[in-house]
Amino acid sequence: MIDRERIAEHNRELEPRLVRDVEHLATNLATDGHADAEEVISALVDFSVAAPSWAVGTGGTRFGRFPAGGEPRTTEEKIDDVAALHALTGSNRSISLHVPWDDPADPPGLREHALARGIGFDAMNSNTFQDNPSTTDGGRLTYKFGSLANTDPEVREVAVAHNRYVIELGVALGSQALTVWLADGINHPGQADHRDQFERVADGLRRIHDHLPDGWRMYTEHKPYEPAFYATVNQDWGSSLLLARAAGDKASCLVDLGHHLPNANIEQIVSRLAMAGRLGGFHFNDSKYGDDDLTTGSIKPFQLFLIFCELIRAGDGRLPALAYMIDQSHNVKDPLEDLIQSTEAVAIAYAQAMLVDRAALAAAQLDNDAARAQQVLQSAFRTDVRPLVAEARRRGGAAIDPLGAYRGIGYRRTMIERRGTGTVATGL
Ligand code: RM4
Ligand code: MN
Ligand code: MN
């Protein structure tokens, strides 16, 4: 655990400058008719984005893996890393598990372990894209040709049963949602029938949905390609919407920012799904070409800002209560450093979107005044909101400069001493 006192110590030096920056920015915002600085800060204090258990370890590519060292060896240690992250950012209150990469032998014990560190369980993820030694065997029962879309009813049964198992595990942990991302699809034209595959998946999702307890949500996550390179069953937001509708009332769509064909207008997709009442949540990351899983906001920060504008529009001025999570894979950065930067990027986009003068924008839109509309958006996007984000962290007892504090405290060094250099924390 990262000692709060170490963080406070680190903050002391940076406080005078922060006080000046916040004052200056607050005065300017008030003069320019933007949202009140206090309003933004308090929204940020409340905000949290979940960390995925698979992102606290180094991800590999198909060409290799270069571990950071000190990676968590168990799900407990993954929780410890998220608790360290949360201590620094104040905005990562929960962890999202991936089963069977995480398959705790003692769920109540794990729940207590997390609770003691102030960490909760976000959506559960079910993995049916790899054979699972306890259910499929890579022989007769295998996900090689799909899970819920498989032509073999026995394999479909095993996939449904796995998802139901993940729900039950989630109940024991205090989670309230299941995210289903399927690798099911077609690699070669003619290999399978598009419609039959879709109908089998819809049927499987309905059966999984039937198993959801009250108060639970289920998210369908689309992705255009990989590992199926010709067609995936849940290919795009339209397919995802159809599948969520077929599954049932508790199902909605999850938008992973990397799961779109190049140049897709993701903010418009967000708007459409919200309008259809089926926007469920996000997997934040960034990409240049495909599902690159890069640091959120590192490539297209304007897109991230526009997405948050749509969210605030959907929530009529507030951020809707959806499932917000980071989904990344880091192969050259220290995973925790990347998560710190991603969390900050999400908070920045949120703060900037809050600064949009929505009344002025609506008026410009009514007048067909494109130049004025752009000015309104840019005036929010180009505001350096980092002091507000840092102030929110400070008020929550977290670090003014989380990356500096992380390095200063030497968390990675300590973990390498404790856990060694040869550990692998992720199946990616
Ligand atoms: C997929 C997708 C899922 C994630 C897996 C590990 O590409 O993004 O959300 O669970 O990767
Ligand atoms: Mn994802
Ligand atoms: Mn992905």
Cα 261 to its chain centre, rounded Å, is 19
State mean pLDDT over 79-95.
Answer: 98
pLDDT of 35 over the 90 cut: no
Tokens of 313: 């529009």
Query: What is the pLDDT at residue 137?
Result: 80
Each residue of 362-389: b (16+ CB within 10 Å) or e? eebeeeeeeeebeebbebbbebebebbb
- d(Cα 343, Cα 52) in Å, to the nearest integer? 12
Residue nearest to atom 9 of ligand 1 (CA): 181
**Position 139 confidence tier, pLDDT thresholds 50, 70, 90:** confident
Tens of pLDDT, residue by residue over 43-52, are 999 999 999 9
Residue 250 pLDDT? 98
CA neighbor of 260 nearest in space, from 234, 295, 222, 229: 222
pLDDT digit string, tens, across residues 295-338: 999 999 999 999 999 999 999 999 999 999 999 998 999 999 99
Residue % of the chain over a pLDDT of 90: 92
Residue 134: the pLDDT is: 87
CA–CA distance, 196 with 231 (Å, rounded to integer): 13
Closest CA to 383 of 45, 33, 89: 33
Which ligand 1 atom sits nearest the alpha carbon of residue 329? 6
Measured in Å, residue 101 CA sits from the centre of ligand 1 at: 12
User: For 372-399, how does the pLDDT look when each residue is reduced to its tens digit (9 = 90+)?
Assistant: 999 999 999 999 999 999 999 999 999 9
What spacing in Å lies between the alpha carbon of 16 and ligand 3's midpoint?
41
Distance 116 CA to ligand 1 centre (A): 28
Of the ranges 35-39, 103-107, 216-220, which one carries the lowest mean pLDDT score?
Answer: 35-39
**pLDDT for the residue 424:** 82
The reported pLDDT for the residue numbered 90 is 98
Side chain identity at residue 209, one-letter code: H
Residue 428 confidence (pLDDT)? 81
Q: What is the pLDDT of residues 53-82, one digit of tens each?
A: 999 999 988 899 998 899 999 999 999 999
Q: For ligand 1, pick from 130, 184, 223, 225 the residue to mutate: most ligand atoms within 8 Å of CB.
A: 223
CA–centroid distance, 320 to ligand 1, in Å, is: 23
90 Rama sector, left if φ>0, alpha if ψ -120 to 50, beta otherwise: left
- Write out pLDDT tens, residues 117-137: 999 999 999 999 999 988 888
Q: Are 10 and 25 in contact (CB under 8 A)?
A: no
Q: Is the pLDDT of residue 427 over 80?
A: no
Q: What is the mean pLDDT of the chain?
A: 96
Mean pLDDT (whole number) for 149-157? 98
Ligand 1, CB within 6 Å, residue ranges: 54, 98, 125, 181, 221, 223, 256, 283, 291, 327
DSSP string covering 289-342, please?
A: SSS--BPTTSS-HHHHHHHHHHHHHHTTTS----EEEE---BSSS-HHHHHHHH
Mutate-to-test residue for ligand 1 from 233, 256, 291, 328, highest number of ligand atoms within 8 A of CB: 256
What are the percentages of helix, strand and coil residues in the chain, rounded to 5?
Answer: 50, 10, 40
Q: How far is the CA of 256 from the centre of ligand 3 (A)?
A: 7
pLDDT at 68: 86
Q: Which of 80-94, 227-241, 324-338, 414-428 is least confident?
A: 414-428
State mean pLDDT over 404-424: 95
The predicted model gives 235-250 an average pLDDT of 98
- Residue identifier of the C-alpha nearest atom 2 of ligand 1: 181
Q: Residue 31 — pLDDT band, cuts 50, 70, 90?
A: confident
Predicted confidence (pLDDT) at residue 138 exceeds the cutoff of 90: no
DSSP state for residue 58 in the 8-state scheme: B
What does the pLDDT read at residue 238? 98
Closest residue by Cα to residue 67 from 256, 306, 334? 334
Whether the pLDDT of residue 148 is over 90: the answer is: yes
